[in-house]
Structure 1
Amino acid sequence: MSFVSIAYTALFYAAAIVFLVGVGARIYRYAKTPAPLKIPTTPAPTTTGGVVLRMFREVVFFQSLFRSNKWIWLFGWIFHFSLLLVLLRHIRYFQDQVWLWVTLIQPFGKYAAFGMIIGLLGLWARRILVDRVRYISAPSDHLMLALLVGIGLSGMMMTFVSHTDIVSVKAFFLGMMRFSPQELPTDPALLIHLFLVAMLLIVFPISKLLHAPGVFFSPTRNQVDNPREKRHLAPWAAELEK
């Protein structure tokens, strides 16, 4: 194997370990963090089924963001929906026999990259042009947006400008999954794209992108609004009352 193939194999193994362990540890921490107060954002559902429906609307349609700011909602939803299509399209690189639905979404995932970039640029412009948002924006916020834009642009470069050998790329990732590394093409756009993806996996567990799993643990969203009907008692508080 070439030095580039060995280096990228090691990089992606390391990135995958950091991502899985880091996100897993964060989720465990979220799950173990007590919520001593009943603090659902009202108007809130009074049944468990209502909470599930509310979480569905929040995760899929960004309901609270839509009520707060329509322009931010528009760019945010365009980015997230386009990103979902792009990620689903990439499933083919990890399958010998590609599922039918993955094959069918390939054209949509291909052009979803444009929506991903448009959404990111809109969100980035917000951090620059809106005074109150610019004031609270840290350098890491801009770097994360730049990283995502770089991933999108390099991916579009391979799709629409400088095509790469996707058969060899698929063989590389299937080989990694089977612990049998294969050669990786050395196209500059591909190497840049994969390097940026690996960096994203590494920084994900320590970044604001953790809002993806974190939203499911938000007490303002996942609590039933029944403080009069049932006393909310955190497990640690229950231990003190024994």
Structure 2
Amino acid sequence: MAFLTNFYAFLFYFAAFVLVSGLAFKIVQYSRTPAPLKIPTTPAPTKRSGVVFRMMREVVLFESLFRGNKWTWIFGWMFHFGLFLVTLRHLRYFMEPVPFLIQLVQPFGIYGGLAMIVGLAGLWIRRFYVDRVKYITSLSDHLILGLLVLIGCTGLLMKFVFHVDVVEIKTFYQGLYSFDIKPLPADPLLMLHLFLVASLMIIFPYSKLLHAPGLFFSPTRNQVDNPREQRHIAPWAKRLEQQ
């Protein structure tokens, strides 16, 4: 059991390092990528405050997806909002004392897990039955969706069918903060769930899941629609003009 505990401790240290460093690298890369053209999707805001409000609507409500396809929007929003609630629910394993807001969201996190599975199922089914989506779907898309479904299903099974010692799990993760490795419950379903979560953390910065931070760097969303009032020149073009 000590071997498994040490293995999972190392696995999550490694996964956390890959996740943080990978995200930091990609965000820096995105920030340095030039946007030579003024290409905001119209109708677009003409002021920076409008851009902020537009980004908020996009992040919270998936506005452009709603306009594009209602069914995809329903399943996509169910999955993301369910994942948000599940993430809040799981914060109790990393905090002591647990804030009141996190305590309040605990029962809603269970429903979030169910919504997450339903949303993922809808998104996965469309990749088999919608021809234009099936055409652009790759093996990696199926693997990522399968990984997310397995994470959700194993989590719900531990909640409703095969119960685990959540106190020991919290002690294990609290110990990781101070590099004091505590025993992890010897439960096969828990081991599978944690392995899948760590795998998701590792592949996240190098997969299509990176659309989460990438949205904020999309020129079709983050640009002000003011080409008549102000000339848009990319940084590299400015350097060429000065030469």
Q: TM-score category by the smaller chain?
A: over 0.9
Partner of 2:96: 96
CA displacement, residues 128-182 of structure 1 (integer Å, 9 cap, x when unaligned): 1101111110000000000000000000011111110000000101101111111
Partner of 1:240: 240
Instruction: Kindly report which structure 2 residues correspond to 1:94-133, keeping only aligned pairs within 5 A, or say none.
Output: 94-133=94-133
Partner of 1:181: 181
Aligned length: 242
Partner Cα distance (2:193, 2:156) in 1: 10
Partner of 1:15: 15
**TM-score computed with the length of structure 1 as normaliser:** 0.99
Secondary structure, counterpart of 2:180 in structure 1 = coil
Instruction: Kindly report which structure 2 residues correspond to 1:5-154, keeping only aligned pairs within 5 A, or say none.
Output: 5-154=5-154
Instruction: Kindly report which structure 2 residues correspond to 1:205-216, keeping only aligned pairs within 5 A, or say none.
Output: 205-216=205-216
One-letter code aligned to 2:201: L
One-letter code aligned to 1:193: H
How far is the alpha carbon of 1:83 from its aligned partner?
A: 0.3
Secondary structure, counterpart of 2:182 in structure 1 = coil
CA displacement, residues 190-227 of structure 1 (integer Å, 9 cap, x when unaligned): 10100000000011111000000000000000000000
Partner Cα distance (1:67, 1:235) in 2: 33
One-letter code aligned to 1:167: V
One-letter code aligned to 1:145: L
Partner Cα distance (1:23, 1:58) in 2: 21
How far is the alpha carbon of 1:236 from its aligned partner?
A: 1.1
CA displacement, residues 93-142 of structure 1 (integer Å, 9 cap, x when unaligned): 00110000000000000221110000000000010110111111000000
**TM-score computed with the length of structure 2 as normaliser:** 0.98
Instruction: Kindly report which structure 2 residues correspond to 1:160-239, keeping only aligned pairs within 5 A, or say none.
Output: 160-239=160-239
How far is the alpha carbon of 1:90 from its aligned partner?
A: 0.6
Secondary structure, counterpart of 2:232 in structure 1 = coil
Partner Cα distance (2:85, 2:51) in 1: 27
Partner Cα distance (1:43, 1:20) in 2: 35
Secondary structure, counterpart of 1:79 in structure 2 = helix
In structure 2, list runs of 5 or more residues that go unmatched.
Answer: none
CA displacement, residues 15-47 of structure 1 (integer Å, 9 cap, x when unaligned): 111111111100000001010110000010000
One-letter code aligned to 2:190: L
- Percent identity over the alignment is 61
Partner Cα distance (1:165, 1:152) in 2: 18
How far is the alpha carbon of 1:235 from its aligned partner?
A: 1.1
Partner Cα distance (1:120, 1:45) in 2: 32
Partner Cα distance (1:45, 1:39) in 2: 12
Partner Cα distance (2:12, 2:160) in 1: 25
One-letter code aligned to 2:117: I
CA displacement, residues 56-110 of structure 1 (integer Å, 9 cap, x when unaligned): 0011000000001000000000000000000011110001100000000000002
